[in-house]
Structure 1
Amino acid sequence: MKRPVSQQSVKVVLGRAEIPVGSLSFNKDGARESSTFAYREDWLKSADRFEISPDLLLVEGNQFRKPPSRDDSIFHFAFADTEPDGWGCRVIARDHARRRKSAQEKGADVPRAGLTEMDYLLGVDDMSRIGALRLMDDAGNTLRTIEDGGRGTPPLLELAHLIGATRAVEMNRETAADLKYLRGRGTSLGGMRPKCTIFDEDGQLAIGKFPSIKDDRSVTRGEVLALHLAAAAGITVAQSRIVMSDDIPVALVRRFDRVADGGRIPYLSAGSMLQASRQEEHAYTGIADCIVARCVDPKRDLEELWRRLVFNLLITNVDDHVQNHGFLHVEHGQWRLAPAFDINPFPDKDSELKLWLNEDYGPVDSIEAVVNEAGYFRLETGEAKRVLGEVCRAVSDWKRVAKSAPVGMTDEDLDAFQPAFENEQTKMALALL
C-alpha cells in the first residue's frame, strides 16, 4: 500500500511590519515528518538580513530539517521555539478530540484523527507567539487567527474565567466552551503548568501563571519572589507581580519580546542558540561560548550569565534547562541575553541544577566549583567575589521581599520555602566571602 504523502506551506514574516522572510513547508510521508525552509531572495539581499535561526544559513534554496531524535522538533530551532509548551499542547489535543467527537455526533465532516507537529505549531495565536517570527497563509492571514473575529488575548479582567477553564482541564472536566476559550492562548514558555497569555491593565502583553490543583505550596508566589530577588541581585528580569482573583494568587509576568508600541523582538532560546538536542546534557559554559560568538556585548552578558548561575544555585532553582534561558536580537545577527524568566525555588529538592557547569564537572552542585569556574566567564577574582557578594545579599533578604506587596507570602509560605534559600550552598557562599 502506498503511504499517504502530504505537504503544507506557510509564509514566514517578521515583526509588526510583516517583513517577508521566506517560506516554511511541512512534509508528511506516512509516519515520517520533516520540514524545509527557504529564504526569499529580497530578504537575502536586504541590508537588515540576519540568520533567523542558527541552523538556517543565509543561502538560497530549501534547507531541510529532520529531527535527530524522537524528542526533537521537526522544525528548525527558531520555529521550534514558537511551538506551544506542554500546557498549550494539552489544550490543543483536548480541543481537537472534542471537536472530532462533536462532528461524529452531528454527522458532520470529522477532522482527521492525529495531530501533526504543524497543527501544534499553527495552534498558537499570532498575538501570543514568542519572538518576532509570524506565520501567514496564502491569503495573508496570520496564523493562528481567532475564529469569527474574536479577541485572541483576554484582558486581566477575565482572570477568573481563565482560572475556571484551566482548572476544568486539569481535572479532566472541561467543556467545549472551556476549550474554545483557551484555544490558541497558550505560550511557548514554561512547560506543563497552567498558564495563558493575557493583556495587563496598561495593554501590555503578559503571561498569567495559575496555581495547579496539585500544588502543595504557593508556586506562583515563589516564582514572583525569585524574580524580585533576582532583580535585587543585579539580574535583568521580566517584570512580575502577584494579582489576586477570588483569593487565588496568579503570577503575572510581562513579556520581554514586545515593545510598548506593539513591536516584536526576535527571540531564540539558549537551546536553539546551542542547536541542542533535547536528549543531550548541556552546560553553562556552552551558553557562554554562544555569548562570545554571537552577542553584541560579550563581557556584560558573560557576567550576567555567571550571576544567574550563582543565583540559581543559591535559591535552589533546579529547573534551569536551556529552554529557560534566551536571547533577544539587537541588530545584524547580533544578540543579547534576554531577561531572566521562569525562575522557581524548589525547597523540596537538593541543590543540584539541571544544567551542567561544564562537560567535565557535570551538574552544578557546589558554589565553590562555580566560583572556581568564574574565569571561563571572563571574571577576575575580585569581580567574581563582588558578584557573589551582591547575589548573597539579595538572597539573604528573601523573607522581607517575600512579605512585600508584589509577592504577599504568608508565614506558612515562609516556612514552606525556607529550605530553598537557607541551605548548605548559601552557608558555603557566605564562607567564601
Structure 2
Amino acid sequence: MQLTIQKMEVYYNNQLVGYLEMIDEDTIAFQYDTDWIKKGFSISPFSLPLSDKVYISNSPYFKGLYAVFNDSLPDGWGEFLIRRMLLRKKINFEKLSPLVRLSLVNQTGLGGLEYLPKQKKDQINETTDLDLIAADINKELNNRTDGLSLDNLYKLGGASGGARPKVHLKINNEEWIIKFAAINESSLVGIEEYKANILAKECGINVSEFKLFDSKLTKGFFGTKRFDRIGDKKIHVIALSSILETTHQISNLDYIHLFQVIQKISVNPDDLYEAYRRMCFNVLYGNKDDHGKNHSFIYDEVKKGYVLSKAYDITNTIDKLEHEMTVNGSGNPTEKELIEVQERMQLSKEKCLSIIENIKRVINNITL
C-alpha cells in the first residue's frame, strides 16, 4: 500500500476537475483544472467557486480538506471496515493522510468525485447472499473471525456512510444500498425503515426508490436505490453540512440554514416546499436523525445548477432526545415552530398549513 501521497487528481465522470496537493501535515491545496473552469461547475458552491485560484481550507474539521472531498470518505460503518482491514495489515488508520484515505476510496465513494492515484485492491470472490452477508456482519461486530470474509464486507461496504452496516450491490444493472441491523438493534429495523419510507412517500416527499429485500432470517432487509448513480453515470452530491464547511457530528445547524441554502443555490422552484414537507414530516413522525449530512444537493446537468437530492435515511428515532437540526432554535419543535419557519421564510401560509395537515392525516390514518 502506498502510504505517502503528495499530489492527487480529482475526476468526475472521466473529466479532470482539479488537483489536491499536500502542503504540510494540516494544509491541503486545491485548484481547478483550466478546462474544468471553462466547461464544468463549482463542486462546492460557496467555498470553491470556479476560478484559477489556489484554495486552502481553514476548516478545523477535516484535516486540511474541503468538506466536499471529505464527503467522499466513508464514516460510521464504512470507516469501521477500513480500520479493521488496515489493522489486519498492521497499518494505523489514524496516521494516514487525507489523500491516502481518498486513494483507498478512489472510484467507490459516495457521489461523483473520483481520486487518482488509487490503491490496488485484491481480487476476491464476492457473495451477494444477503443472509450470508448479515451473518458475516454479525461476526465482525462481535469480533469473531470464524468463516468471516472481511475482504468481501470491505468490498461491498467500505465506502459506506452512516452508522448502520450496509452493502452496495448492483441488481438488474441498478445500484442499491442495502442495510442491516447494527449491534443491539432489533432485526425488525429493515421493515421499520421500509414503513417509514412508505409514510414519507404518501406524504408527497420525493423519496429515493426503495424496497424490502427478502430474508430467511428476518422480515426483510431495507434497500434504497442510489440517487448518485444513473446507469454508468455518476452524479455529484454535496451534503448540506459540507456546503457550509461544518461537520454533521456537531449539532450546530437549524432548518433555517437549509432553507437559506436552497434560496442561494437551488434552481428548482419547488425545493423550498419540498424542504418544508421533509422538515414537517421529521418533526411530526419523530425522525430526529436529521443532521446536516442527511440533507443533500445534487448538481443537475440539465438545469445547470443544484437541486435538493431525493430524501433518504428516513426512520423513527424514539431514543433520541432532540432533533439533530433545530427548528427555529428548538430541539423539540412543535407545530408552533413549523409555522414560525413558514413566517420567517415568507412561504405561503395556506400551502404550508396544507402540508402539515396532510402529513398528520397520513401518519394517523395509513394502514401498513
Give deviations 1:258-304, integer Å, cap 9, x for gaps: 11x3211111111112222454610111111110110002x411101
Partner of 2:15: 19
SS at match of 2:89: helix
- In 2, distance between residues paired with 1:22 and 1:62? 10
Partner of 2:54: 62
Partner of 1:84: 74
The CA deviation at 1:14 is: 0.7
SS at match of 1:166: helix
- In 2, distance between residues paired with 1:231 and 1:39? 39
Note if 1:163 corresponds to 2:134: yes
Partner of 1:215: 185
- In 1, distance between residues paired with 2:155 and 2:6? 20
Matched-pair contact (CA < 8 Å) for 1:73–1:80 = no
Give deviations 1:127-166, integer Å, cap 9, x for gaps: x4211111122xxxxx356434x58xx67x4323322221
Indicate the larger mover: 310-319 or 238-247: 238-247
Note if 1:237 corresponds to 2:207: yes
- In 1, distance between residues paired with 2:79 and 2:92? 17
**Structure 2 residue identity aligned to 1:309:** M
SS at match of 1:12: strand
- In 2, distance between residues paired with 1:121 and 1:326? 20
Note the residue ranges of structure 1 that are not aligned, 5 or more in a row: 101-109, 138-142, 402-433
Note the residue ranges of structure 2 that are not aligned, 5 or more in a row: none
Alignment of 1:32-431 (within 5 A): 32-46=25-39, 49-54=40-45, 55-69=47-61, 72-100=62-90, 114-124=95-105, 126=107, 128-137=108-117, 143=118, 146-148=121-123, 157-174=128-145, 178-186=149-157, 190-200=161-171, 202-216=172-186, 218-248=188-218, 249-259=220-230, 261-278=231-248, 279=250, 281-297=252-268, 299-331=269-301, 334-350=305-321, 352-358=322-328, 361-398=329-366, 400-401=367-368
Matched-pair contact (CA < 8 Å) for 1:320–1:353 = yes
Pair 346,389 (structure 1): closer, same or farther in 2 beyond 3 Å: same
Pair 229,24 (structure 1): closer, same or farther in 2 beyond 3 Å: same
- In 2, distance between residues paired with 1:111 and 1:349? 33
What is the root-mean-square deviation of aligned Cα atoms in Å?
2.6
- In 2, distance between residues paired with 1:73 and 1:327? 23
Task: Compute the TM-score of the two structures, normalised by the length of structure 1.
Answer: 0.77
Pair 271,188 (structure 1): closer, same or farther in 2 beyond 3 Å: farther
Matched-pair contact (CA < 8 Å) for 2:106–2:116 = no
The CA deviation at 1:173 is: 1.4
Matched-pair contact (CA < 8 Å) for 1:355–1:364 = no
Identity %: 26
Pair 194,147 (structure 1): closer, same or farther in 2 beyond 3 Å: same
SS at match of 2:347: coil
The CA deviation at 1:12 is: 1.0
- In 2, distance between residues paired with 1:395 and 1:216? 22
Indicate the larger mover: 247-256 or 168-177: 168-177
The CA deviation at 1:253 is: 1.0
The CA deviation at 1:89 is: 0.8
Pair 80,113 (structure 1): closer, same or farther in 2 beyond 3 Å: closer
- In 1, distance between residues paired with 2:130 and 2:260? 41
Pair 12,209 (structure 1): closer, same or farther in 2 beyond 3 Å: same
- In 2, distance between residues paired with 1:319 and 1:73? 25
**Structure 2 residue identity aligned to 1:9:** K
Matched-pair contact (CA < 8 Å) for 2:59–2:246 = no
- In 2, distance between residues paired with 1:73 and 1:224? 37
The CA deviation at 1:172 is: 1.0
Pair 111,212 (structure 1): closer, same or farther in 2 beyond 3 Å: closer
Matched-pair contact (CA < 8 Å) for 1:125–1:184 = no
Matched-pair contact (CA < 8 Å) for 2:78–2:160 = no
Q: If you compute each CA radius of gyration, which structure gives the higher value, 1 or 2?
A: 1
Pair 317,23 (structure 1): closer, same or farther in 2 beyond 3 Å: same
The CA deviation at 1:371 is: 1.9
SS at match of 1:24: strand
- In 1, distance between residues paired with 2:163 and 2:93? 25
